Amino acid sequence: MPNRWGRRLRYAFAVVLLMMALIGFKEGLQWYWAVIGACAAAGFATLGRQIFRPGVSRTTNEIVCRYIPYYEGNAFFLTILLPLIAIAAIAAGYAPGNPVWLRVAGIALLALTPLFVYSTVRMWRRCLLRISQSALTVRLAVPGDGEITEIRREHVQSIAPKTSPNGVSGTRALQVELAYRPGGSSEVTKTVMLGPQFTVEPINLLNALVAWKDGGKDSTELLDRIEQFLRSRRPTVGV
């Protein structure tokens, strides 16, 4: 409940900020200040990792999770809003009476845009999590490692929540740590961290993978339950 009210207050503040930018532009405010204000409002509304829709598809025998940038608030901010702010800041820096640092800051932000776009497109094209009744198929956008890994259910040792720093929001983000034995080896254990590579709420991904691991006998009902977790609009706690 507190998170829901915090989200509503954030949206309300964003709407007020957007209205101020639009009214100011109508009353003669320079276009670059209006653009910066409108983008700041949209950025404030998408603060944190906002997932507009789960990146999940389903066939009869498997479920596929992917990274879909146009369902992600972070991708929207980094690839669309930030370049617009950069262009407006450059224009403001060239306008008489405005400080030069606006121009410098705008150029710096614009120079970083190709990196953000490249990272977003790379994740979009490469990140894959395929869930079948008996195995997971995983591919991550890790530099130098584009291999597809198959993890059979009987080789999984543990699935646990882990938190790590979020470079965008500055908070700690939930991820899923999956430990497994490659090829069924009894001596070697590998771990893989799953979470931000897929457009799914992390707690829902955790619950779905735990349900998959503990699913027992293969059945269509198991995939139905996993899909329900992944598509949940309200993140659930526990399975």
Q: What is the pLDDT of residues 158-169, one digit of tens each?
A: 999 998 766 555
Residue ranges covered by each domain of the chain: 2-61+68-125, 131-231
Question: Residues 113, 129, 154, CA angle at the centre, nearest 5°?
Answer: 150
pLDDT in tens, 144-154: 566 888 999 98
CB 131 within 8 A of CB 111: no
Lowest mean pLDDT among 17-26, 35-44, 110-119, 137-146: 137-146
* CATH no. of 131-231: 2.30.29
pLDDT in tens, 88-124: 999 999 999 999 999 999 999 999 999 999 999 999 9
Question: In 3D, which of 111, 114, 137, 115 has the Cα closest to residue 126?
Answer: 137
Kind and range of the H or E run holding 17: helix 2-26
Q: Rounded CA gap, 85 and 80, in Å?
A: 9
CB 39 within 8 A of CB 21: no
Q: What is the share, in percent, of the chain residues with pLDDT greater than 70?
A: 87
CB 106 within 8 A of CB 166: no
Three-class secondary structure of residue 34 per DSSP = helix
Residue located via tokens 């003669």: 28
pLDDT at 56: 95
The pTM for the full model equals 0.82
Let me know if 97 is exposed, middle or buried by CB neighbors in 10 A (0-12, 13-18, 19+): exposed
Let me know if 179 is exposed, middle or buried by CB neighbors in 10 A (0-12, 13-18, 19+): middle
